[in-house]
């Protein structure tokens, strides 16, 4: 072996490591179809829950304030729209984060 050459054992080890990494990445992608921990169905359920819960909280707060202050139905309507806006913003942020994860996968070949 000449000075500066790599031993054949290191080349073999590097090849085996790259094959193992590729195999693990393929298994991880095949498990859920999406990078990260949750699949498409789980992501859809999470989006639905985020939207419905923010809307429900807004309606409840508006209803409670209307009963307390006697301003029926104005605060209920206003809080309904605020809850809908908060839910839409939450869904937007979640979908942007998922799109960012997929962009990282296509750029780097690995998930976060």
pTM of the model: 0.56
Distances (CA, A) of 63 to 14, 27, 33, 53, 68: 64, 49, 42, 15, 9
**Predicted pLDDT of residue 49:** 94
In this structure, are residues 74 and 88 in contact, taking their beta carbons and an 8 Å threshold?
no
Whole-number pLDDT of residue 67: 94
Reading the chain (112 residues) residue by residue, the pLDDT tens digits are 556 666 777 888 888 888 888 888 776 665 554 445 567 788 889 899 999 999 999 999 999 999 999 988 999 999 999 999 999 999 999 888 877 766 555 555 555 4
What's the pLDDT at 86? Answer: 95
Give the pLDDT score at 39: 73
Q: In the chain, what are the domain boundaries?
A: 8-108
């Amino acid at each position: 072996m000449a000075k500066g050459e790599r031993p054949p054992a290191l080349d073999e080890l590097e090849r085996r490591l790259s094959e193992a990494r590729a195999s693990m990445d393929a298994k991880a992608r095949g498990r859920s179809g999406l990078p990260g921990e949750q699949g498409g169905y789980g992501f859809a359920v999470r989006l639905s829950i985020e939207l419905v819960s923010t809307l429900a909280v807004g309606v409840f707060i508006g209803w409670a304030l209307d009963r307390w202050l006697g301003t029926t139905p104005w605060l209920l309507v206003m809080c309904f729209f605020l809850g809908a806006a908060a839910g839409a913003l939450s869904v937007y942020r979640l979908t942007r984060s998922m799109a960012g994860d997929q962009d990282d996968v296509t750029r780097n070949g690995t998930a976060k």
